[in-house]
Structure 1
Amino acid sequence: MPIAAPRLLVAGALATLGTLSVLATAQPAHADDIGYLVNVTVRPGYNFPNADAALAYGHGLCDQINSGVKYGQLVNTIKSDFSTTDEFQASYLISQSAQELCPAAIWQLRQSAAGYVPSA
């Protein structure tokens, strides 16, 4: 049994090093226009006239996130633009834009959403 403990320590150290090497070589997130288009044009409710309009809207949301527009304001703008009261529809479009078109802005979006409470 005493021999097993050093083997476990070595195995644990190797697993940790393996994880660290994966993290060290991870590539930065990049935009995925196709993923965004599939997710927002298949889901009903947005009715973009074409792919260019959908991409332009998503990139516009990214620009707003990057310029510091608060999450609640983004939600209200989307609700107004799409004539809906559906909170999920608005938050879905925001999250798809951030995740697929401007993943570097996700942290900023999360910060602006802190404390957000949906309207009644």
Structure 2
Amino acid sequence: MSTRKATGQEAEAVAARYLQRRGIRICDRNVFSRGGEIDLVGMDGDTVVFFEVRYRGHGSLAGAAESVSYRKQQRVLRAASYYLHRHGLWNAPARVDVVAVAPGGLRRYKIQWIKNAIQSSA
């Protein structure tokens, strides 16, 4: 396994543990569709939440949260729409959050959870 893939999987595992400690029930991981990939899918009460997990190490020019490009946002929105359709959840409240993971100082990781970070223009 490449180190980049392993780093990504570790960041997703860190994010999942962080979210679970804050009351999110993780339902799916690494969901692939024609539209794109969703890193984590969870439930926050009755809201379906799609999580884009981003990791940036020391020396990165852009922070993890800032690294979500417009094109990536569109792919996540397409994949989320497909997921809702496929699971018959069109009437369920849903949102897309970003979880930014970076190396920490006192703790091993610094985590930033941005709720409703990606919104559909429609």
Compute the TM-score of the two structures, normalised by the length of structure 2.
0.31
- The structure carrying a bigger helix percent of its residues is 1
Bigger Rg over Cα: 1
- The structure carrying a bigger strand percent of its residues is 2
